């Protein structure tokens, strides 16, 4: 973890983002209480909850040229789908949060989402909640 990561993750921004994601997942009122957002620094570009476990508009995903073969539009993909196709995600970070009754849960992106993210975007980092109080997040640096 380099200094930039420490600056980011020790800041109140992460708490704020997780709080916002908690609220977003709550408002979505679905049984998969996950939400994700994409931000550049402190600027939030898009925020979305999990739509469904299996997405009814899976064709949308296939057509989006993300190489998203297995539908099931998770919050991460909902965020990506709501951006313009040519939107550059360079220097942008993805935050993923899972809401539990008593706080956060593990929100590591599933293998399908991870494949899409790694193969089709230029996101800088992925940060997800863990549900662990001592280390409330994990981070993967991509670029």
Residue 98 near Zn ion by CB under 5 A: no
Number of Cβ within a 10 Å radius of residue 114: 14
Residue 110 near Zn ion by CB under 5 A: yes
Stretch that binds Zn ion, among 45-53, 67-75, 86-94, 124-132 (CB under 5 A): 67-75
Number of Cβ within a 10 Å radius of residue 14: 17
Stretch that binds Zn ion, among 3-11, 20-28, 82-90, 112-120 (CB under 5 A): 112-120
Rounded to a whole number of angstroms, the minimum distance from the CB of residue 123 to Zn ion is: 14
Residue 118 near Zn ion by CB under 5 A: no
Query: Measured between alpha carbons, how far is 108 from 91 in angstroms, rounded to an integer?
Result: 20
Please identify which residue in 51, 55, 74, 92 interacts with Zn ion, judged by CB under 5 A: 74
Rounded to a whole number of angstroms, the minimum distance from the CB of residue 114 to Zn ion is: 8
Task: Please name the helix (run of DSSP H) or strand (run of DSSP E) that holds residue 114, with its range, or none.
Answer: helix 111-120
Pick the closer one to Zn ion by CB: 52 or 141.
Answer: 52
End-to-end, the C-alpha distance of the chain in Å comes to 13
Rounded to a whole number of angstroms, the minimum distance from the CB of residue 42 to Zn ion is: 25
Rounded to a whole number of angstroms, the minimum distance from the CB of residue 110 to Zn ion is: 3
List Cβ neighbours of 94 (8 Å cut-off, separation of 6 or more).
36, 37, 38, 76, 79, 117, 123, 125, 126, 127
Which residues bind to Zn ion, rule: CB under 5 A?
Answer: 74, 110, 113
């Amino acid at each position: 973890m380099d200094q930039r990561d420490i600056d980011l993750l020790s800041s109140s921004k992460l708490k704020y983002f997780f709080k916002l994601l908690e609220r977003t997942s709550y408002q979505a009122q679905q049984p998969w209480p996950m939400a994700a957002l994409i931000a550049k620094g402190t600027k939030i570009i898009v925020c979305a909850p999990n739509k469904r476990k299996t997405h009814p508009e899976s064709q949308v995903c296939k057509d989006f040229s993300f190489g998203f073969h297995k539908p099931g539009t998770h919050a991460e993909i909902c965020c990506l789908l709501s951006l313009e196709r040519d939107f550059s995600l360079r220097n942008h970070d993805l935050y993923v949060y899972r809401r539990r009754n008593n706080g956060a849960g593990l929100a590591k992106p599933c293998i399908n989402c991870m494949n899409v993210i790694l193969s089709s975007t230029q996101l800088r980092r992925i940060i997800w909640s863990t549900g662990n109080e001592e280390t409330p997040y994990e981070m993967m640096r991509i670029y």
